[in-house]
Amino acid sequence: MVSEISESFSKTFKQLIRDIKMQKLDGSYNVAVAVVNLFRDLVLHEKWNTAKDLIFLMKTCGKLLAKELPLQTSAENMIRRMLKIVRDEYTTACNEQQEELDIQESLHKIVTSEEEIDDYSKTVAELKESILDHINEFHMELETSIENITKEAIKHIHTSEIILTIGKSAIVESFLKEAARYRKFDVIVCECSPLKYGQDMAISLSNSKISTTLIADSSMFGIMGRVNKVIIGTHTVMANGGLRAISGTHAVALAAKYYSVPVIVLAGLYKLSSQYLHSHEDNFNQFTSPESVLSYSEGVLTSSVHVYNPMFDYVPPELVTLFISNAGGHAPSYVYRLLSEMYHQDDNDL
C-alpha cells in the first residue's frame, strides 16, 4: 500500500519550506526544531499502518526538503535522525514480540527474523506511541543541547586566557557567558566583515561584563600569537569533520594553525551532516546581497562591477582540533563514527 500525503500537511510543509528559504525562520537550531515538530505531526496525523509506510512518507518529504533546501543541512539531518528513530523502534518492538512468542532462539530463526525486520512491513502494536515517545525524547535532547554544551565551558576556558572568536554564534555566546560566571578571561572578536556579525557579538559579550576587544579581520593574524584558544561556532559539520562556517573562519583557522593555537568548534549534534564537500559551486555556498561590500547608492558603479558576497567558508578537518557537542568532545577523525551511530546507512540517500 502506498500512502499519500494529505493536502493540509503538504500545505504546512510547503509553507515551512518557503519560510526557511526566505529566512522568515532563521538559525539552524530553529530550523531543526521546526522540522522535528513537523515530522511529529506527520507521525501523529497522517495515515500509515506499518513502519514501511511511515518510512516511505518521511522519505518522500525528506527528498523534497533536501532538494528545496540544499543549504539547510540541519533540516536534512533531522529527517535522517527521525528515520533512524522509526527504524530503531520497529526493530526493538519486533524483537520484543519475538521474545514473547518464542524465547528460545535458534540460528535459523535469527536469520529469518532479520530478513523480516529489514522489510519493516510487519504490523506492530503500539508502534506509533513508542515512536512518538522517542521523538519527544529526541526533542528534549535538542532543547537541552545548548545547555549541555555550555556545561563543558569551565573545562576548556581557564582564568586569564585570551579567547578568539569570529562572527556571532548563539552557542559560542552562551558558552563564553557560562565560563565568565566562574572565571575571568579576555575575548577578542573578529568583526567578520562584510556581514559584521562580530559587532553584535562584541556588544552582547561586553554587556555581560566580559572584557571584549573587537578587531578588524585583517589584524587577526597579528593578534593570533597572543591567543590561547580559538572557539568558534559553525553552520554545518561535514561528514569528514570539515566545517561550513561563516566566511572568515578559514582565515582564522589557518592563522591558528600557524601559531599552533587549538581551534575548538562548538556544534550541537543536529549540525552533523552526512554530506561531503564535492564542489564549491553547487549548493555549498550562499551568496547574499552585495550591499555591504558596495553600496547601491554608489550609483553607476554598481552596474559595471560584479560583486560576490559569499556567506560561508569551507574549513578542512585538519585545521580543527576539537568538536564539542552535546555528547561531549570529539576529534574530527571521530565524526564518521558519530555519523554511523546517529543515522541509518540506508538513509544516506534520501
Partner 1 sequence: MKANLEKEGGLQAVIVADTFNRNFEPASSCCSLLPLVNVKLLDYTLEWLNMSGVDEVILFCSSHVNEIKLHLKDKVYLSIDVKVLVSENCYSLGDVMRSLDGYAVIRNTFILLSADVIGNVNFVPLVEKFKSIQSVDKEISMMVLFKEVGNQRPELHNDFIVAHNSKNRIIHYQVQKSKNIELPMEVLLEQEFVDIRNNLLNPGLAICSVAVPPLFSENFDFQTISDFIRGLLMNEEILKCTVYGEILKGNQYVARVRDWPMYQVISQDIIRRWLYPIVPDLLDKYSYKKNSTYVNNATFSKGFKLGVDVVVGAKTKLGKNVRIDRSVIGNNCTIGENVVVENSYIFDNVKIEENCAVRNSVISHTCVVKRNSIIDSCVIGPCITLNAESKVNKKSLVSKKLTHKENLAPFSDNCYVYANSDSEDEESSALVTDWAARTNFVYDDSTSDSDTETVSVDEALVEDDDVNIFYNEVEDSLSRGFSEKLQCENLVLEVNSSRYVYNVTVSEVNFNVIRAILNINLSDAGNAKQMWQHMESKLKYFLPIIRNYIKDSRAQRDCLAALEDVTASYGQLKMVLVKIINYMYDKDVLAEEAIVAWYNELSNEEIKTCLLSFIQWLNEAEEESDEESD
Residues that bind partner 1 (CB under 8 A): 10-11, 14-15, 17-19, 21-24, 67-68, 281-283, 287-292, 296-300, 302-304, 306-307, 309
What's the CA angle centered on 309, arms 32 and 252, to 5 degrees? Answer: 75
Closer to partner 1 by CB, 22 or 103: give it.
22
**Minimal distance, residue 290 CB to partner 1, in Å:** 6
198 vs 189: CA distance, rounded Å: 6
**Minimal distance, residue 311 CB to partner 1, in Å:** 10
What's the CA angle centered on 231, arms 229 and 235, to 5 degrees? Answer: 155
Place of cell 513537523: 38
Closer to partner 1 by CB, 294 or 322: give it.
294
Closer to partner 1 by CB, 24 or 109: give it.
24
Closer to partner 1 by CB, 10 or 345: give it.
10
**Minimal distance, residue 7 CB to partner 1, in Å:** 9
**Minimal distance, residue 333 CB to partner 1, in Å:** 32
**What is the widest separation between alpha-carbon atoms in the chain?**
82
**Minimal distance, residue 175 CB to partner 1, in Å:** 28
**Minimal distance, residue 141 CB to partner 1, in Å:** 28
- Pick the closest to residue 3 from 86, 41, 59, 73 (CA basis): 59
How many angstroms separate the Cα of 194 from the Cα of each of 12, 23, 146, 170, 323? 35, 19, 27, 19, 27
**Minimal distance, residue 310 CB to partner 1, in Å:** 10
| Residue pair 290/258 in contact by the 8 Å Cβ criterion | no
Report which residue type is found at 198: G
Sorted by sequence, the CB contacts under 8 Å of residue 222 that are 6+ apart come out as none
Closer to partner 1 by CB, 160 or 297: give it.
297
How many angstroms separate the Cα of 11 from the Cα of each of 17, 59, 71, 80, 223? 10, 17, 22, 22, 51
| Residue pair 273/222 in contact by the 8 Å Cβ criterion | no
Closer to partner 1 by CB, 46 or 89: give it.
46
259 vs 268: CA distance, rounded Å: 27
Closer to partner 1 by CB, 132 or 311: give it.
311
